[in-house]
A and B are shown apart, each in its own frame.
Chain A
Amino acid sequence: MNKDEIKHFIARRVARELENGDVVNLGIGLPTLIPHYVSPDVKITLQAENGFIGLCAHDGNLREDGNYYIVDPSGNPAGIEHDGMFFDSSFSFTIIRGGHVDKTILGSMQVAENGDIANWLIPGKAVHGMGGAMDLVVGAKKVIVAMEHTQKGSPKILKQCTYPLTAKGVVDMIITEMGVMDITPDGIVLREYNPEYTVEQIQAATEASLVISKNLAPME
């Protein structure tokens, strides 16, 4: 798989984690591909931290002068569903921090076996800021990291994060092109594997020790 195919492969698998009625916040990049793969009989509501629920693609009805009344959290033109609602940033983070988001799905630079996540700052690189990420991973009921398994071959799933943390002990699940992993008190459990790789290859690309599920199944 090339990089683009990997992203779509991961997005398609993450989409299967979404259930009817879920309130979902999607991070930038790969997670924004997920809605394309959600089954038509699963109705989810996307929350956008800049201030609305019901995020969807814009309807093409943009103002001629290039200014938009609806933007997504990256500042790009967006739309709102018929059952959506706009609100201010305080209410937006009441939804996020208050545990009213069922699933937040975001990429990461590093995840540790204890659920620590580091996805906002690389020492020595340009400082971007955490935006809403720290609130999202602390507040959402379930935190799913959707990312490539390694960074140019170096493991990203570690015994301990080395970059500054976004939050401690918050990640519930990791989905990569190699497999699906749950973070449990016993460590990282490999629940599904991509048959293009052996379990040994997946472990070799992972610094943390994987616990192999008794019900290990191929990724669909």
Chain B
Amino acid sequence: MGISKLISAKEAGDLIQDGMTIMVGGFMTCGTAKAVVNEISAKNLTVICNDAGFQNEGTGRLLAHGSVKRLIASHVGLNKQCGELVNSGQLELKLQPQGTLVEQIRAAGAGLGGVLTPTGVGTIVADSSQPTTLEGKQTIVVDGKEFLLEKPLHGDVAIIKGYIADESGNIRYKGTMRNFNPLMASACKMVIAEVEKIVPTGEIGPDFVETPHIFVDYLVLNPKEE
């Protein structure tokens, strides 16, 4: 009886403490654990997410509640409030190319010292003196070709969204909700997975598990998205 990892969305939200670095999965809120995000009340967070969501939705909800000190993302254009917070000095925004951002997260989860990418060479993404560029960028030449050294991005807590979990915490995704979620689950000290269904262990099946239970610390059941 009982699923040891199962907690409420409120309990999950309370695990996020002031000043933490959190990763929020999802792409324009498809694959974002909205029930958990809606319960976060901590402040001064560093948030790593593909985008700023929509106004007051997904990561946009954290922005609207003044919870975010620093946002690392690839695209924020569909949430007007994000730009307003940056312009008024209330939010520090760092923009990374999407493919670079996900590899930085993967590098952290895989124990790598960083990745070398040709993306961003010769642009302001390579220039750390720019306000929206991450600190400490280096250009490295390998076999005559220029690459940017992009360092790993670690987090304290990953908030991921799956479709089905089994009682052990194995996760399966559906459609385009996968995006950053499996990578973020590998890159953080604690992982909270919000899912739409929980089934007995074994029912997903080892061939179909996409994020293994060893990464998942807590499950939150949210049968119908809010």
Binding site for B on A (CB under 8 A): 48-52, 65, 67-71, 73-75, 78, 80, 86-90, 92-93, 96-97, 121, 126-135, 138-139, 164-168
> Which B residues touch A167, using CB under 8 A?
119, 121-123
> Which B residues touch A130, using CB under 8 A?
74-75, 95, 97-98, 125
Interface centre among A87, A88, A89, A168 (most CB of B within 10 A): A89
Residues of B167-208 at the interface with A, using a CB-CB cut-off of 8 Å, are 173-183
Selected contact of A138 from candidates B119, B124, B175, CB within 8 Å: B119
A130 vs chain B, min Cβ distance (A): 5
Measured in the bound complex, the distance between the Cα atoms of B122 and A80 in whole Å is 36
**B136 on the interface (CB 8 Å rule)?**
no
Interface centre among A48, A69, A73 (most CB of B within 10 A): A69
> Which B residues touch A78, using CB under 8 A?
176
Given the interface pairs A129-B95, A138-B118, the reply to whether A75 lies near B180 with Cβ below 8 Å is no
Instruction: Please tell me if the beta carbons of A50 and B76 are within 8 angstroms of each other in the complex.
Output: no
Q: Is the interface of B mostly helix, strand, loop or mixed?
A: mixed
A88 vs chain B, min Cβ distance (A): 5
Given the interface pairs A50-B27, A88-B180, the reply to whether A128 lies near B120 with Cβ below 8 Å is no
Interface centre among A75, A86, A121, A135 (most CB of B within 10 A): A135
A211 vs chain B, min Cβ distance (A): 25
**B117 on the interface (CB 8 Å rule)?**
yes
Given A78-B176, A134-B123, 10 extra CB contacts under 8 A: A71-B27, A73-B27, A86-B175, A127-B95, A129-B77, A130-B95, A131-B74, A132-B97, A134-B99, A167-B123
Selected contact of A89 from candidates B80, B117, B123, B180, CB within 8 Å: B180
Instruction: Please tell me if the beta carbons of B178 and A51 are within 8 angstroms of each other in the complex.
Output: yes
A73 vs chain B, min Cβ distance (A): 8
Given the interface pairs A68-B175, A89-B102, A90-B102, the reply to whether A127 lies near B83 with Cβ below 8 Å is yes
